[in-house]
Structure 1
Amino acid sequence: MQLLWPAPADEPDLVELYRTPPEPWLRLNFVSSLDGAGHVGGKSEPLSGPADKRVFGLLRMLCDALVVGAGTVREENYHALRLSEERRAWRLARGLPEYPTLVVVSGRAGLDPTHRALADAPVRPIVITRAGTDAGHLAGVADVITTGDEGLDLPEAIRQLRERGLRQILSEGGPRLFGSLTAAGLVDELCLTLSPLLAGPGAGRITDGPPLEAPATLTLRHALLAEGLLLLRYTR
């Protein structure tokens, strides 16, 4: 893995490169093809590679909570949120819980309580859904946060997560959640892996939803090159 910018370094410390400020922070992590596709055949995995998966795991190690849409949990067939022994030890040595908390966003609470991402989770997950939604079928496997009458109130949901001590938040999408977080002005950072593939027409982008009134500007913090993948980190 080669550090392109800032100045190249021998064996760059990825933990330091991806360390977030001490303030509450919301980071997104996505992979995209060269022509803008967010998936191939309905899954993002074909766009990935060893270096991307390494950073993928590292970002999970650094977060307090992983926020993901219910559709992504189903389509990408999420496993329970677990870490390697080394990464668990890293967290414990710094006073962090052994595992981050999985948070699933679902406007209709349309989740199967037996799904392994919920039923096998080492830490009780959280489900965010709209007020008035019947989420009783999830009570045995997850805490439920209800917010917003007409639609999900994401700023309020994020505020409640931070009240629980979940200050460093990572999201892996999907595209609709990415678009909603951007529209709400909640995105502090985007980690984007650019895959050297042309996926062709048909696949959606990494973000979806109504257009923004004005684009949000981010600043490049570093660029890594590995196995043809370009790993970019942008922050507000």
Structure 2
Amino acid sequence: MKSKSRSKVRAARPARTGWAVSPKRSAHISRPFVSATFAMTVDGKITTRDFAPVDFTSPEDKRHLFRQRALADAVMIGHSTLKRDNVRLGLPDDLKEERIKRGQTRGPLRVIVSNEGKIDNHLKIFRSDPAKMGPILVFSTRRMPKEVRAALADKAILHLSDQRDIDLVEILRTLRRDYKVRRVACEGGPILFRSLLELGLVDELNLTIAPYLFGGVDAPTLTGLSKEFLPASVHCVMKNMRVVGNECFLTYRIRSRR
């Protein structure tokens, strides 16, 4: 796959979370709708303190994640989460067929974001067929090592910013403008989710409450391990709730920041 570098990114001040922050919140018309999907325990933990992949949800929750992914034109994931979970970001055949009936491609674009760009080209996602699962876009910076660029050149489309940190607003604008993406499914991790929240870029949150307690102050929540409050409270409006077995599936609309 042909590599494409881009450097048309506005100057931005660094965020505490490590992603770059654009000076202004983007107008919704210029970016896709962003829907995030997470599962957490009753005490609000999304994994254990060492961030190890933990399978604590039901087959219904996994199907729920696939459904949200299937609705999107692009699925976005942070590199650290991708490295830990080592997922392909694919779909079951029946959901691929549903996408085709809706006039979509067989699979959504698969978007990886990384500041340093130290990405392992042997991850499962790079061993999948883009024609069957959707092309891979990597948004990073010029800090990406040359050997990584060379290794990914035929596996992904590279968008490399001249800034030290990637700009999430510009990434969403690029997806909307250049790839006609109208809906993005964000699948984490917590640092990426918090950064999107701080920028006012999350429109919907799909949250599964699983019947477990993990405990531990060092186990991350939806917004990671930061001891800092969000810059402003985020108001969530419940759109839907359903209970399947011992799990609760919640859908919230995220209102503008206060």
User: What is aligned with 1:126?
Assistant: 137
Give the secondary-structure state (helix, strand or coil) at the position aligned to 2:120: coil
In the alignment, residue 115 of structure 2 is paired with which amino acid?
G
| Distance in 2 between residues matched to 1:63 and 1:45, nearest whole Å | 25
In the alignment, residue 66 of structure 1 is paired with which amino acid?
V
User: What is aligned with 2:66?
Assistant: 57
Q: Is it true that 1:206 corresponds to 2:222 in the alignment?
A: yes
| 1:113 Cα deviation from its structure 2 partner | 1.4
Deviations 1:9-61 (A, max 9, x none): xxxxxxxxxxxxxx931010001111111114634543211221111111111
| Residue 174 of structure 1, aligned match among 185, 189, 205 | 189
Q: Is it true that 1:91 corresponds to 2:99 in the alignment?
A: yes
| Distance in 2 between residues matched to 1:148 and 1:53, nearest whole Å | 37
| 1:131 Cα deviation from its structure 2 partner | 4.3
In the alignment, residue 191 of structure 1 is paired with which amino acid?
N
User: What is aligned with 1:224?
Assistant: 242
Q: Is it true that 1:233 corresponds to 2:233 in the alignment?
A: no
Matches within 5 A, 1:25-174: 25-40=33-48, 42-43=51-52, 45-78=54-87, 80-122=88-130, 123-134=134-145, 135-136=148-149, 137-147=151-161, 149-163=163-177, 164-174=179-189
| Distance in 2 between residues matched to 1:60 and 1:142, nearest whole Å | 19
RMSD, aligned α-carbons: 1.8
Deviations 1:167-220 (A, max 9, x none): 210011001101111111100011010111111213111213553221111200
Runs of 4+ in 1 over 6 A off after TM superposition: none
Unaligned runs of 5+ in 1: 1-22
User: What is aligned with 1:193?
Assistant: 208
In the alignment, residue 29 of structure 1 is paired with which amino acid?
T
- Distance verdict in 2 for CA 1:196–1:64, change over 3 Å: same
The TM-score with structure 1 as length reference comes to 0.84
Farther-moved stretch of structure 1 (63-72 vs 124-133): 124-133
- Contact 2:116/2:143, CA 8 A, preserved across alignment: no
Unaligned runs of 5+ in 2: 1-30
User: What is aligned with 1:10?
Assistant: none
Deviations 1:94-129 (A, max 9, x none): 110011111011111111112111231432200111
| Distance in 2 between residues matched to 1:234 and 1:177, nearest whole Å | 18
Give the secondary-structure state (helix, strand or coil) at the position aligned to 1:145: strand
Count of residue pairs the alignment pairs up: 213
The TM-score with structure 2 as length reference comes to 0.77
